[in-house]
């Protein structure tokens, strides 16, 4: 253990008396001794309350695309602050941000804003159900779509013999079991199984939710043929295809995973990178589907299109669209992959990188995983052992290998702040 965590530990003991697990989100609890608290962030780095510095590859689980405290985005947010924050009325800026999204993402013919990825996916699911007239929905295994009840189901691998539809278990206490009859999960990259499901249950299934690059499962990437087949099967069976781009949107390409795969969703969801950390999300999609919002379908919320977040999103999207930021970020990601790969090759450790350089999964096998089941069967314990050693050396990754490494434009932009990527490779070699 190289880090000092005295202050964080003392704070945890106090915080745990008032905040469940001492934190504001379950995922921020790293254990009674290892939960730590952040003092501040800048560029691609964080400092905790004990003064430990970290190069950050979690980046808030993805939102920080340009870097923390980006002066361009923060200035825009301050301008948003000056005009007020919430009015329960709309502003002109909503249209300008929606126009930008439509320019970047061809499927986004119409747009509605909300505050978190969860809210955007909830809205997409509601709209899809209303449009299709069917309440059931399918999720690709390994996908994560937020913290609402309909999304908190997972395949019961142990209890499944490999035949028929896998059983699903709620991922959280409090998820009503009566929702079980509405949700199906299918293994990623198995179009035959999906077709079979649609043939059997197509009259009940109104929506399919998919992350073509699984931002919450090692960045496992769907096969392009599979994604095209999903698109066709959804059209054929009257199922609304929702591409969840909460992690991939405005990160892997201007037009997100849809651009990379050359498909158009019926509905798609965005959050995270869209506001460089300011809370904002969007559901977007086909005009005929989105048009039912307001015609019997409810969408709203006190804080939707909040002036500060919207101004931040306007500036973030402008930068991502009009500069080479995304190419720069992908280039950094490539460089980091090469550096880490060099270290692992030297030690003959089989590995591969999956996903996209801006959102990389590191997998300890030469064959890229085809889905969640491959991850489950892989040697992820090696990753789990490596992760704390890296964190101890000031490279902050998630201890769970399913969370990819995120890259931001600030990781190597500011030479005075040091090149995070080179430092990471050195720390990685020591940790390995």
**Window 194-213: contact mask with ligand PLP (x via CB under 6 A):** -----------------x--
Q: Which stretch binds ligand PLP (CB under 6 A): 50-58, 113-121, 159-167, 339-347?
A: 113-121
Distance of CA 296 to the CA centre of its chain: 30
Residue in the block written with tokens 């999609």: 285
Pick one of 146, 249, 255, 369: the residue that binds ligand PLP (CB under 6 A): 146
Neighbours of 356 (CB within 10 A): 23
Taking alpha carbons only, the member of 402, 422, 396, 330 closest to residue 361 is 402
Q: Which residues contact 289 (CB under 8 A, 6 or more apart)?
A: 127, 128, 131, 240, 266, 267
Q: Cβ 82 to ligand PLP, closest distance in Å?
A: 26
54 is a contact residue toward ligand PLP (CB under 6 A): no
Please say which residue, 54 or 61, places its beta carbon nearer to ligand PLP: 61
Q: Cβ 209 to ligand PLP, closest distance in Å?
A: 9
Please say which residue, 226 or 428, places its beta carbon nearer to ligand PLP: 226
Q: How far apart are CA 55 and CA 44, in angstroms?
A: 6
Please, what's the b/e burial string for 393-432 (b: 16 or more CB within 10 A of its CB; e: otherwise)? bbbbbbbebbbbbbbbbbbbbbeeeebbbebbbebbbebe
Please say which residue, 186 or 425, places its beta carbon nearer to ligand PLP: 186
Please say which residue, 52 or 221, places its beta carbon nearer to ligand PLP: 221
145 is a contact residue toward ligand PLP (CB under 6 A): yes
Exposed, middle or buried, 177 (CB in 10 Å: 0-12/13-18/19+)?
exposed
Please say which residue, 146 or 369, places its beta carbon nearer to ligand PLP: 146
Pick one of 61, 184, 226, 428: the residue that binds ligand PLP (CB under 6 A): 61
Q: How far apart are CA 176 and CA 270, in angstroms?
A: 27
Please say which residue, 190 or 211, places its beta carbon nearer to ligand PLP: 211
Q: How many residues bind ligand PLP (CB under 6 A)?
A: 16
Q: Cβ 410 to ligand PLP, closest distance in Å?
A: 21
231 is a contact residue toward ligand PLP (CB under 6 A): no
Using DSSP, state whether 414 is helix, strand or coil: coil
Pick one of 116, 132, 258, 360: the residue that binds ligand PLP (CB under 6 A): 116
244 is a contact residue toward ligand PLP (CB under 6 A): yes
- CA-CA distances (angstroms) from residue 102 to 111, 113, 255, 288, 378? 8, 13, 9, 15, 40
403 is a contact residue toward ligand PLP (CB under 6 A): no
**Window 147-166: contact mask with ligand PLP (x via CB under 6 A):** x-------------------
Please say which residue, 3 or 145, places its beta carbon nearer to ligand PLP: 145
329 is a contact residue toward ligand PLP (CB under 6 A): no
Residue 184: φ, ψ to 5°: -125, 150
Q: Cβ 369 to ligand PLP, closest distance in Å?
A: 17
117 is a contact residue toward ligand PLP (CB under 6 A): yes
Q: Return the beta strands (E) in 82-160 as ranges.
A: 110-114, 136-140, 153-155
Q: Cβ 183 to ligand PLP, closest distance in Å?
A: 15
Contact yes or no for 221/189 (Cβ under 8 A): no
Contact yes or no for 243/120 (Cβ under 8 A): no
Contact yes or no for 410/44 (Cβ under 8 A): yes
Residue 228: φ, ψ to 5°: -65, -40
Q: Which stretch binds ligand PLP (CB under 6 A): 80-88, 89-97, 129-137, 142-150?
A: 142-150
Chain residues binding ligand PLP by CB under 6 A are: 61, 116-118, 121, 144-147, 211, 215-216, 244, 246-247, 271
């Amino acid at each position: 253990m190289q880090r000092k965590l005295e202050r964080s530990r003392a704070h945890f003991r106090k915080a745990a008396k008032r905040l469940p697990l001492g934190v504001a989100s379950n995922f921020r609890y790293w254990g009674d001794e290892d939960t730590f608290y952040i003092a501040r962030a800048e560029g691609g780095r964080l400092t905790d309350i004990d003064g430990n510095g970290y190069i950050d590859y979690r980046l808030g689980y993805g939102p920080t695309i340009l870097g923390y405290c980006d002066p361009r985005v923060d200035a825009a947010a301050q301008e948003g602050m000056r005009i007020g924050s919430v009015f329960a009325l709309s502003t002109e800026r909503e249209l300008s941000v929606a126009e930008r999204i439509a320019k970047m993402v061809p499927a986004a013919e119409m747009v509605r804003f909300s505050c978190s990825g969860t809210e955007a996916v909830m809205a997409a699911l509601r709209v899809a159900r209303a449009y299709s007239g069917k309440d059931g929905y399918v999720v690709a295994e390994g996908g994560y779509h937020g913290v609402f009840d309909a999304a908190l189901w997972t395949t019961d691998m142990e209890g499944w013999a490999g035949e028929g539809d896998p059983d699903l278990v709620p991922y959280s206490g409090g998820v009503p079991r009566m929702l079980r009859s509405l949700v199906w999960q299918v293994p990623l990259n198995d179009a035959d199984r999906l077709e079979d499901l649609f043939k059997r249950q197509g009259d009940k299934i109104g929506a399919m939710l998919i992350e073509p690059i699984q931002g919450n499962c090692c960045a496992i990437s769907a096969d392009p043929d599979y994604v095209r087949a999903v698109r066709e099967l959804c059209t054929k069976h009257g199922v609304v295809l929702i591409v969840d781009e909460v992690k991939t949107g405005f990160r892997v390409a201007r037009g997100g995973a849809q651009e990379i795969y050359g498909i158009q969703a019926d509905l798609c969801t965005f959050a995270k990178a869209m506001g460089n950390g300011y809370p904002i999300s969007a559901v977007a999609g086909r005009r005929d589907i989105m048009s039912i919002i307001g015609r019997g379908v409810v969408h709203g919320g006190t804080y939707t299109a909040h002036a500060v977040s919207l101004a931040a999103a306007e500036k973030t999207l402008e930068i991502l669209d009009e500069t080479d930021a995304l190419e720069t970020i992908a280039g950094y990601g490539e460089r980091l992959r090469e550096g880490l790969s060099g270290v692992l090759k030297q030690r003959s450790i089989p590995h591969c990188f999956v996903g996209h350089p801006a959102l990389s999964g590191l997998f300890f096998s030469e064959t890229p995983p085809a889905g969640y089941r491959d991850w489950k069967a892989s040697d992820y314990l090696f990753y789990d052992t490596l992760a704390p050693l890296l964190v101890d050396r000031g490279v902050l990754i998630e201890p769970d290998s399913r969370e990819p490494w995120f890259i931001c434009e600030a990781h190597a932009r500011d030479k005075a702040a040091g090149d995070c990527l080179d430092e990471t490779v050195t720390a990685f070699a020591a940790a390995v």
